[in-house]
Amino acid sequence: MMFWKRIAATCLMAWSALAGAEPGVTDSSITLGMSAPLSGPNGAYGIEMREVISACFAQINKNGGIHGRQLKLEVLDDGYETDRTVSNTRTLINDKQVFALLGYYGSSPTTQAMNDGFGPARVPLVGTISGAQTLREKPSVNPNNRYLFNVRASYADETEVIVSQLASLGLKNIAVFYQNDGFGKSGLDGVTAALKKVNLAPSAVGTVERNSLDVTQAVQAISKVTPQAVVMITLYKPTAAFVRQMKQNGQNPMFMTVSPVGAEQLVAELGDEARGIGISQVMPYPWNDTTPAVREYQRLIGKNGKYSYYGIEAYITTKVMAEGLRRAGRELTREKLAAALEAMNHQDMGGYRVSYGPDDRTGSRFVELTVIGSNGKILR
């Protein structure tokens, strides 16, 4: 009788351990999820991020993984559409049973996914290509934000640097061209707030819909004021279409845009017409190996690889996630990961610092300006 009792007790303990196991975690692996545009007009962004994150995982796994566990990646294509991002998030959590998320793209898609998906499910997400203020609200204001950890500066940080530069040049007639969604509106708010500090307001505004290249009305509205400068809160394809049409209209203002545009993608789309466009950047310059994180990234990609701002951001995002997993320990839970990330205050990721706290999801405030030079070279 005692023998059977011991067998029953052993089975019960094994069943309890299995029932209590965290989703996406086994003795030998940790599965992480990612939703990003892999197709459509913005597919280039997600594809590059996926390639770098996958390369990072392979390197970590080659060196023994994290606490002996190998990292696995599940990636779903959302086409930069909000509904698909929310649906993908639910699929990753409920069907794919991922442990945590990383590398999301876009303000509206990520905000909705946070409020309807990973936030209520209490699944941490590290790194999103967005500077929207909604994603930086204190967890005490929006409890869903407890599970989101930004890695980049906000649009308010980027646009303040841009406006400060334009104001220092004595420019006052400054228009705004923005994408009509959470991304564009957050950037517009940032530009408006920064202009207000120097007693200015946008001289004209024009919009373009998400995943659209119809910029005609925006060009007409902005051309009416013959602006000295235009701040563009748009992605690379509508940015290129707008710049071309403005020039065709005889308009040659100083064009400035924010980091999500993708400097390399914009150069590929515009060619020589991209010369002179200013871009705010929120990551270290990926072609100069003086920064430790950049040296590591370049070694990962290889000498003949294609370096880019999206690449270095994907690399640093993966570093933040890996550091959080290491700090969370072998007995891994989602709550332990969130707590470990929260404890990373001014954490040096190789010359690039991220900072969180129990009521702080800022991540970073690093911003520097670059300009597209001759032959499409990005210059600081």
- Predicted confidence at residue 12, as pLDDT, reads 37
How many independent structural domains does the chain possess? 2
- Predicted confidence at residue 303, as pLDDT, reads 83
Straight-line distance from the first to the last Cα atom of the chain, in angstroms, rounded to the nearest whole number? 78
Q: Residue 101: which region, alpha, beta or left (left: phi > 0; alpha: psi -120 to 50)?
A: beta
Q: 272 with 303, same domain?
A: no
Residue 202's domain comprises 155-281
- Predicted confidence at residue 257, as pLDDT, reads 98
Q: 144 with 15, same domain?
A: yes
- Predicted confidence at residue 11, as pLDDT, reads 41
The parts of the chain modelled with pLDDT lower than 70 are: 1-20
Residue with tokens 């990383």: 102
Q: 17 with 147, same domain?
A: yes
- Predicted confidence at residue 4, as pLDDT, reads 43
Distances (CA, A) of 216 to 176, 177, 212, 243: 15, 12, 11, 11
Query: What gap in Å lies between CA 258 and CA 162, rounded to an integer?
Result: 8
Q: 268 with 309, same domain?
A: no
Task: For residue 152, give every residue at least 6 positions away whose Cβ sits within 8 Å of its Cβ, in sequence order, or none.
Answer: 127, 129, 130, 131, 259, 282, 283, 313, 363, 364
Residue that terminates a domain, selected from 281, 307, 326: 281
- Residue 373: inside a domain: no
CATH number for position 191: 3.40.50.2300
Q: 33 with 123, same domain?
A: yes
- Residue 20: inside a domain: yes
Q: 231 with 302, same domain?
A: no
Q: 199 with 229, same domain?
A: yes
H-helix or E-strand spanning residue 143: none
Q: 234 with 352, same domain?
A: no
- Predicted confidence at residue 58, as pLDDT, reads 98
- Predicted confidence at residue 5, as pLDDT, reads 42
